[in-house]
């Protein structure tokens, strides 16, 4: 976990620490086993295992617990995401159902800061280690405008980030035109994105990355023609 991401996780615990563990969490008696409830109380929040937390994370706001229960456990859920144990997609439908964009400004900022830190952390890894193409759909569901995340590529010429960019462009180009996100396609076809890819081809130390960037340049041209057509 990067230092920036670690700080964001610490802040999540601090800000959401105002929501204590309820003496009893309401749940469907047919859906929530007593052992699952006991597991949630088996360790302090920061040491709660993924196995103990998973049933709650999957069922909260449907058959187990309410918004404040989600807020109590959210720092641990997101810490497990940061550690690579879970994907962000586990939290997205819960945050949306809880209408997180109506929460107090400090809580919204903490979630937003965490997502930014997670994005930048992912850009330091190769696609085989952590995939931006897998993370981006979750961020698009949480935020109306993905451009603050995408623009990081214009500022980060590091080779892992450019490798991630190539893989994202390839995945978008391989999808059916009707399924493509217009904002994302528009950003891919932006002149600054093209410049990033061109510069990456010349700068990449790895022949694999250079070839990957060179190959997707043609796919960018095709995406642009498809968009215009």
Residue range 9-66, pLDDT digits in tens? 999 999 999 999 999 999 888 888 889 999 999 999 999 999 999 999 999 999 999 9
Instruction: Report in angstroms the alpha-carbon separations of 156 from 87, 160, 174.
Output: 23, 9, 25
Distance CA 103, CA 109 (A): 10
Q: How confident is the model at residue 205 (pLDDT cuts 50, 70, 90)?
A: confident
Pair 67, 98: CB distance under 8 Å? yes
Per-residue pLDDT for 157 more than 80? no
Q: Residue 229 — very low, low, confident or very high, per pLDDT cuts 50/70/90?
A: low
pLDDT band (50, 70, 90) for residue 107: very high
Q: Is 62 helix (H, G, I), strand (E, B) or coil?
A: coil
| Chain position carrying tokens 């940061």 | 82
Residue 147 CA, chain-centre distance (Å), reads 14
Q: Residue 84, by phi and psi: left (phi above 0), alpha (psi -120 to 50) or beta?
A: left
Among 31, 75, 68, residue whose Cα is nearest residue 53 = 75
What are the domain boundaries of the chain? Answer: 3-122, 137-228
Nearest to 57 by CA among 19, 95, 5: 95
Distance of CA 228 to the CA centre of its chain: 30
pLDDT tens sequence across 111-151: 999 999 999 999 999 888 889 989 999 999 999 888 889 98
Note the pLDDT tens digit of each residue in 69-97. 999 999 999 999 999 999 999 999 999 99
Q: How many angstroms separate the CA atoms of 91 and 66, rounded? A: 14
Question: Comparing C-alpha atoms, which of 90, 103, 37 is closest to residue 64?
Answer: 37
Report, as an integer, the average pLDDT of 187-192: 90
Q: What is the pLDDT of residues 212-224, one digit of tens each?
A: 889 888 888 888 8
Cβ atoms of residues 182 and 225 within 8 Å: no
Sign of the C-alpha dihedral, residues 129, 136, 75, 2?
positive
The pLDDT-based confidence of 228 (bands split at 50, 70, 90) is low
């Amino acid at each position: 976990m990067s230092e920036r991401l670690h700080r964001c996780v610490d802040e999540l615990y601090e800000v959401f620490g105002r929501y204590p563990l309820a003496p009893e969490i309401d749940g469907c008696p047919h859906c929530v086993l007593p052992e699952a409830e006991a597991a949630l109380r088996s360790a302090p929040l920061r040491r709660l295992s993924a196995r103990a937390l998973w049933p709650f994370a999957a069922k909260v706001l449907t058959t187990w617990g309410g918004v404040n229960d989600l807020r109590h456990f959210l720092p641990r859920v997101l810490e497990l995401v940061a550690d690579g144990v879970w994907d962000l997609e586990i939290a997205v439908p819960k945050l949306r159902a809880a209408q997180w964009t109506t929460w107090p400004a400090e809580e919204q900022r903490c979630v937003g800061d965490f997502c930014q830190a997670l994005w930048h952390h992912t850009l330091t890894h190769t696609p085989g280690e952590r995939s931006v193409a897998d993370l981006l759909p979750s961020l698009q569901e949480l935020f109306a405008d993905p451009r603050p995340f995408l623009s990081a590529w214009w500022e980060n010429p590091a080779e892992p980030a450019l490798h991630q960019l190539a893989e994202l462009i390839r995945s978008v180009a391989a999808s059916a035109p009707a399924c493509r996100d217009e904002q994302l396609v528009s950003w891919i076809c932006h002149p600054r994105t093209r410049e990033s890819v061109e510069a990456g081809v010349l700068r990449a130390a790895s022949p694999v990355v250079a070839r990957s960037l060179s190959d997707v340049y043609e796919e960018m041209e095709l995406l642009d023609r498809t968009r215009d057509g």
